[in-house]
Amino acid sequence: MKTTTPYHHGDLRNALLQAGERLLRQDGPAELSLRKVAREAGVSHTAPYRHFRNKRALLSALAQAGFERLADATLEVENKYPDDPRRQLLEGGVAYVRLAVRYPETTQLMFGGVLEIREEDTELHEAGHRAFEGLLKIVSNGQREGLYRDRDTMELALAAWSLVHGLAMLVTAGQLKDTVTSNKEITRMVTSLGELLQNGMLK
Amino acid sequence: MKTTTPYHHGDLRNALLQAGERLLRQDGPAELSLRKVAREAGVSHTAPYRHFRNKRALLSALAQAGFERLADATLEVENKYPDDPRRQLLEGGVAYVRLAVRYPETTQLMFGGVLEIREEDTELHEAGHRAFEGLLKIVSNGQREGLYRDRDTMELALAAWSLVHGLAMLVTAGQLKDTVTSNKEITRMVTSLGELLQNGMLK
DNA sequence: ACCTGAACACCGTTCAAGT
DNA sequence: ACCTGAACACCGTTCAAGT
């Protein structure tokens, strides 16, 4: 059952993060308890305090991992379609929602208000910043090619981000269960909404 | 300090909801405790169970109030601009984000994953449904006038909802503190993003 | 009907102590 | 350095009891 892995070797921090991810998936962000995480990792309930100042710090590290996945995905998409900023934005959106659907509890942790994001969590903040900068780059790639109407980069980026983020949050909150169900349908929906934002809803 | 209001008269339920709203604003959705709510209302910590099956039921009622505010706002906007569905959609979006900014903790409770939305909470579900139907009506008003491109009503509505919802969630999560600050700026931003969705980002 | 106090199992955090 | 067990103040929920 419980292999006596030598956590004393310094990988307890990682073991705790892994256990945290597992419990986050299982119980959701509101139910996750530090004591359960410790139990799952096979240590006493005070051991985590050697590696995290408090429960908040553990949650913050889990959220950070989520932001890093987001930043990586953005970079990847940019590299995959080097001369097609329109495709970059569309595929970036798809990746964003896919990640949210794959890690709904982490998404809720990142954006849902369970964990208050503070300036002091520099690493968390930086990971988030990196993801946003990837998006800004993709938008300014498009601007350089004269793709978009004459607008502030920030505003164009925020439009794309809001659209995709809104869909992601609605899906993870289970608000769209009647409308959008399968994974395939979600991808189709992001693509379709992306097209609407690019060409407009009006006739 | 504590006026001996006769809660025995049947308004304890309301007093608890009020105390809940107050503590929700003060401490955020994650920190709200049933015992604190009871204390704030001046009753023993077991008294709430006379009116709510459990803590979840209280939170659900608070979220429901939020959905009702949303549904009301949507209806109001529709009546205010009876023959201008384009304006209805734009002002509806502004109202949506305004409500989110005004009640950030309630918004997080409604959509953030602290409270798992279940089918069984029929009243909560209905309030949410009513809000969404208001949006659908506004979109189909526009379709009747031939305003929009030929698309599924649901898809057009979801595009508008996602855009506005995403912005609202980003603002309430404090993710846009560097970019969008004042209340006035938020209104300007919604309007601007709404225009982008209507006419498209592309040249 | 409406409310209480004791009780239980849980939680986050601190601290003195052990290797 | 790294981990533990006892302790404290809190929590959600149940239950017998009081008016």
pLDDT for res A64: 96
Tell me the chain B residues in contact with residue A194 when contact means C-beta distances shorter than 8 Å. Answer: none
Provide, as residue numbers in chain A, all residues whose Cβ is less than 8 Å from the Cβ of B167: 158, 162, 166
The string of pLDDT tens digits covering residues A75-134 is 999 999 999 999 999 999 999 999 999 999 999 999 988 898 888 889 999 999 999 999
Q: Find out whether A32 and A59 touch, Cβ atoms under 8 Å.
A: yes
Question: What residues contact B5, with CB distance under 8 A and at least 6 apart?
Answer: B11, B15, B42
| DSSP string of A124-159, one letter each residue | HHHHHHHHHHHHHHHHHHHHHTT-B-S--HHHHHHH
DSSP A181: -
Q: What is the pLDDT along chain B (203 residues), one digit of tens a residue?
A: 333 444 455 788 999 999 999 999 999 999 999 999 999 999 999 999 999 999 999 999 999 999 999 999 999 999 999 999 999 999 999 999 999 999 999 999 999 888 988 888 899 999 999 999 999 999 999 999 999 999 999 999 999 999 999 999 999 998 998 788 788 998 999 999 999 999 999 99
Per-residue pLDDT at A3 exceeds 50: no
Stretch 9-38 of chain B: residues touching chain A, C-beta under 8 Å:
28-30
> From the CA of B49, how many Å to the C1' of D15?
13
- For tokens 């981000």, the residue is A161
Minimum-distance CB partner of B114 among A114, A163, A172: A114
Please name the nucleotide lying closest to B55, CA to C1': D12
SS3 state of residue B51:
coil
Distances (CA, A) of B98 to A201, B69, B171, B184, B192: 23, 11, 10, 10, 15
Q: What crossing angle do the helices spanning A104-111 and A12-27 adopt, rounded to 10°?
A: 100
In angstroms, the CA of A12 and the C1' of C12 are apart by 20
Chain B 51-110 residues in 7 Å CB range of strand C:
51
Query: Alpha-carbon distance B193 to A150, whole Å?
Result: 14
Please answer yes or no on whether B113 and A128 come within 8 Å at the CB atom: no
With CA atoms as reference, the chain B residue closest to A161 would be: B166
Cα-based distances in Å from A101 to A182, B150, B171: 10, 29, 21
What pTM value is reported for the model? Answer: 0.93
Query: CB pairs under 8 A, 24+ apart, for A81-88?
Result: A85/A138, A85/A139, A85/A141, A85/A142, A85/A144, A85/A145, A85/A147, A86/A142, A86/A147, A86/A198, A88/A138, A88/A141, A88/A142
